[in-house]
Structure 1
Amino acid sequence: MESLVISMFIGIIIIAVFIPIDKIRSKKNLHKLILFLNQREYKPRTNAESFKDRVFIFAEKKYKKLNIKISEDKYNMYKNKLMLANLSDKLSVECILGMKILTSILVFLYVGVLAAIDVSLMMFILLIIATVLGYCCPDSMLNIRIKKRQQQLQRELPNVLKTLAITTEAGLNFWEAIKKVCEIKKGVLIDEFKNMLDEINMGALQKDALMKLSERCGVTDITIFVFTIMQSLEKGAKGVTKALNEQANEVWEIRKSKAKELGQKASVKLFFSMLIFVFPCLLIFLLGPAVMSILKLFTNN
């Protein structure tokens, strides 16, 4: 019952925040308000009108109104994280900082209601911890997205390098090979290659476009690939093909070693999970009858 009351309370807060108040006030009775809510429910939403986007816009606006100043280093850090997460064109630094405040407030309200129902030192400590976790939640989600994206780039790199090596061996120069690979393959790395080609078509220097590719990806192997290509382009097509083949083989070996390492870690985790969950059950199954027999013997005596 308490959970239902708390959920209804949070729901009322969300409705009060995200439904336009001026439109609700213009309704003179409950019937018109219900019609208004139904229209909003069945109206097809565009990307800009989705609930998630409205939350982001709300958080960004409120943060700008607070006019909180942060250091330039911290601002650039969040800007770099958004770039690595491929969210620079969707979210701003102010939006992330606003979401940190918003999530901490919502968590504080939710846990605060629970703490008011059951007043104790433990609930007070839980309130503080939950508020801090709510504040850190957007950072964690952003870091998880960056990690997943970089892992995807790392997985795609060996195949892409091998394909580039084959196409350059067939007679295409490096940039023609990049265009060909973009036509026949799909993926996160291919999307970054397309962005690089678009920058070059708009007038950017090839070296600058390659450096920006490395910055957007934030993967060590891609950075090595960029510097290798920049050095090899001066040597001609043969130098590029040789460099691509060498790095493709090197990346494949790294991928194999990582796969072996993950396999070894998985076997250790499996052993400990069996030791914790399976062994006690097996012990009870084997020793249970013997223990029961011993107990019966003592009770009879």
Structure 2
Amino acid sequence: MVNLVLLLLTAGFFTLTIAASLLTLYKRELAVNERVTRYFGENIRREEQDVKSKRRLFSGLIAVYWEKGTEYLNRKISRADKRKIDNLLRDAGYPFKTAIDFRLFQLVLAVGGGLAMALLFLPIVEAKTSGWMLVITVSILGYRLPIFYLGKKSKARIKEINKGMPDFFDTVNLLLEAGMGLDLALADVSRKMKGPIADEFIQTLEDMKLGMSRREAFYELRKRVPSDSFQSVINSLIQADQLGIGMAKVLRNLTIRIREQRKEAAREQAMKAPVKMLFPMVFFIFPALFIVILGPLVITLVTKGLGG
């Protein structure tokens, strides 16, 4: 035991001695490094603050000019165009705040893409007609690309809603059978489950708080979601509310029907798989197989002939 204590004391003594020696030898370098770090650290912080202030200034200028653009377009766009764009944004889940913002984004993308192509390719292209055609094509694509984006996002949103319907309405049905009211059950499930279907029902409950009846709020919900399965469910809920039928029984039958529809859709997709695989097999797989199988025979016939 005494030997172990002496060994520990000896190791500690040598460690402290080496540390003191290194600190004495490199005291000047450590002091210089500390001063350099302190000086340049302040400069780095100042540079970061300058960059942040420049970013705020730049974003502020963009916000100012964007607001001016929206005010100008608000006077120029007709109500029919606004209604049409609002419907597209509603189906896609409002990735843009307003129809004016979406139209301004279209114009900025079209003009920016056209100017970029004009500045990059027109000076180096010999055929100016082809260059201008490229500029016009890019501008048209820049104008139409946000609409394609809305269509893609709308399809993805509908798919996600159809996928989440069985679990959502099953949970609502459990709460109804436990004695909770429909509005409270929808509010509780919508708060706990995330996704577009929960967001839509939260919006519906907010409309009901603002004075809409349940039937009117469900009508608006049916308009906002362009899904046949979801709209059939909402129609059943509206009819049950009108006739005074128990919501728990209706939702139980609806969830069973939704799951059966999903099974049928999965079977349909499985039946379509061989047809979809036909074209890749014909154009990509079969040629490779023919080359591997018949290639040696063709080479033999070419080199040695039929008598070989």
In structure 2, what is the equivalent of residue 114 of structure 1?
Answer: 121
Indicate how the Cα distance of structure 1 residues 224 and 40 shifts in structure 2: closer, same or farther if over 3 A, else same. Answer: farther
Higher relative contact order (CA 8 A, sep 6+): 1
Q: TM-score, normalised by structure 1?
A: 0.72
- Within 2, Cα distance between the matches of 1:135 and 1:268? 35
Which protein is bigger by CA-based radius of gyration?
A: 2
In structure 2, what is the equivalent of residue 193 of structure 1?
Answer: 201
Structure 1 residue corresponding to 2:93, chosen from 79, 86, 99:
86
Spell out, residue by residue over 1:98-149, the C-alpha distance to the aligned partner (whole angstroms, 9 max, x if none): 1211111122123333244123355444333222111101111122122211
Superposition deviation, residue 154 in structure 1: 1.4
Q: TM-score, normalised by structure 2?
A: 0.71
- Checking the alignment, whether the CA contact within 8 Å between 1:59 and 1:102 is kept in structure 2 is no
In structure 2, what is the equivalent of residue 223 of structure 1?
Answer: 231
Indicate how the Cα distance of structure 1 residues 184 and 93 shifts in structure 2: closer, same or farther if over 3 A, else same. Answer: closer
Where do 1:134-173 residues align within 5 Å?
A: 134-173=142-181
> What stretches of structure 2 of length at least 5 have no aligned partner?
1-43
Is 2:303 the counterpart of 1:296?
yes
Q: Percent same amino acid at aligned positions? A: 25
Say which SS state the counterpart of residue 246 (structure 2) adopts: helix
Where do 1:176-191 residues align within 5 Å?
A: 176-191=184-199
Pairs aligned (count): 261
In structure 2, what is the equivalent of residue 100 of structure 1?
Answer: 106
- Within 2, Cα distance between the matches of 1:153 and 1:141? 18
Indicate how the Cα distance of structure 1 residues 247 and 270 shifts in structure 2: closer, same or farther if over 3 A, else same. Answer: same
> What stretches of structure 1 of length at least 5 have no aligned partner?
1-34
- Within 2, Cα distance between the matches of 1:106 and 1:276? 39
Say which SS state the counterpart of residue 43 (structure 1) adopts: helix
- Within 1, Cα distance between the matches of 2:113 and 2:271? 39
In structure 2, what is the equivalent of residue 43 of structure 1?
Answer: 52
Code of the aligned partner of 2:276: K
- Checking the alignment, whether the CA contact within 8 Å between 2:73 and 2:104 is kept in structure 1 is no
Structure 2 residue corresponding to 1:61, chosen from 59, 68, 83:
68
- Checking the alignment, whether the CA contact within 8 Å between 1:104 and 1:133 is kept in structure 2 is yes
- Within 2, Cα distance between the matches of 1:152 and 1:161? 14
- Within 2, Cα distance between the matches of 1:272 and 1:69? 48
- Checking the alignment, whether the CA contact within 8 Å between 2:106 and 2:142 is kept in structure 1 is yes
In structure 1, what is the equivalent of residue 39 of structure 2?
Answer: none
Code of the aligned partner of 2:94: L
Structure 2 residue corresponding to 1:256, chosen from 243, 263, 267:
263
**Aligned-CA RMSD value:** 3.5
- Within 2, Cα distance between the matches of 1:50 and 1:283? 65
